Amino acid sequence: MTDEETMNLAPGLVQAFAPEDAGEELGERRRAGRGQMDPIMNLRSWQPKTRLGHAVMAGKVVTFEQAKATGLPIREVEIIDALIPNLVDEVIAVNNIQRMTDSGRRMRFNVMACVGNKDGYVGLGMAKAKDVPNAIRKAIRAAKLNIISVQRGNGSWESSTGPGTSVPFKIEGRAASTRVTLMPAAKGKGLVVGETGKKVLTLAGVTDVLSRTKGQTRTSINFAAAVFNSLQNINLTRVTPEQRERLYIHKGRKFE
């Protein structure tokens, strides 16, 4: 593949088809992690099977926003690796599930994982398997296929004017009996939320937020799902152009 053809591809494909010396340099900064194969290596041998996958490989779709605009479902994890490279994964919870059958006690593992680039994209997924490594791999895959773009802004009355990396306005999320309300915070306030919520918000690129919780918040899975649901609800809230400008709302990556 020529240099001109490579430059018109998605960022992950550019890294995958980079020269060997550049690929080795990039390899020092990435990791396969948790027993899974390197995403960049997977892209080199990727054979698309869906319409969206063929469009990404052909260079017709090079950003996550363009992929969403097509209206086509994302069913290949390589599409996410191509459009949003260098994703970081985090295991939220690992639980064992025991079931009594005629042949004896059967044990399986339930894992929730979160992925994000710490700059406007985050995904949450769950999976089950007979052993923990397979469950983690499947959960990370599910999280990548469930990734969303996060709207961030500067909605705190304590902040001075200018862009921020907090939530733009107060928003509530729920999962089962857990309720989480995220509120804008001034720059430097930090993440005033539980440890599980910090993992999700950090991977999403939110650095300052205040929170209020209700329900059984000690359930890590429901708490993480409620925080993720609140970030989803930001995208569902109708915002006028004047409010978007006043609150410095930006979606996805933050370009300096």
DSSP of 66-130, one letter per residue?
Answer: HHHHTT-----HHHHHHHS-S-EEEEEEEEEEEEEETTEEEEEEEEEEEEE-SSSEEEEEEEEES
| 174 beta partners | 179
pLDDT of residue 55: 94
Domain covering 88-145 in this structure, CATH number: 3.30.160.20
Distance CA 147, CA 123 (A): 4
Q: What are the residue ranges in the chain where pLDDT is below 50?
A: 3-4, 21-35
Collect all residues with Cβ–Cβ distance below 8 Å to 157 and sequence separation of at least 6.
none
* Alpha-carbon distances, residue 238 vs 169, 184, 201 (angstroms): 12, 17, 22
Contact by Cβ (8 Å): 38, 30:
yes
Contact by Cβ (8 Å): 140, 89:
yes
pLDDT of residue 20: 56
pLDDT of residue 65: 92
Half-sphere exposure of 41 (CA within 13 A, CB side): 8
The ranges of the chain annotated as CATH 3.30.230.10 are 151-251
pLDDT of residue 204: 95
Summarize pLDDT for 95-108 with one digit per residue, the tens: 998 887 777 888 89
Question: Residue 33, Cα to own-chain centre: how many angstroms?
Answer: 16
Eight-class DSSP state of 38: P
The secondary structure of 125-188 as a DSSP string is EEEEESSHHHHHHHHHHHHHHT-EEPEEB---TTSPSS--SB-SS-EEEEETTEEEEEEE--TT
Contact by Cβ (8 Å): 254, 119:
yes
Distance CA 136, CA 181 (A): 28
pLDDT of residue 105: 83
Q: What is 151-251's CATH number, 3.30.70.100, 1.20.1250.10, 3.30.230.10, 3.40.50.300?
A: 3.30.230.10
pLDDT of residue 23: 45
Does an H or E element contain 4, and which?
Answer: helix 3-7
Backbone angles phi, psi at 171, to 5 degrees: -145, 145
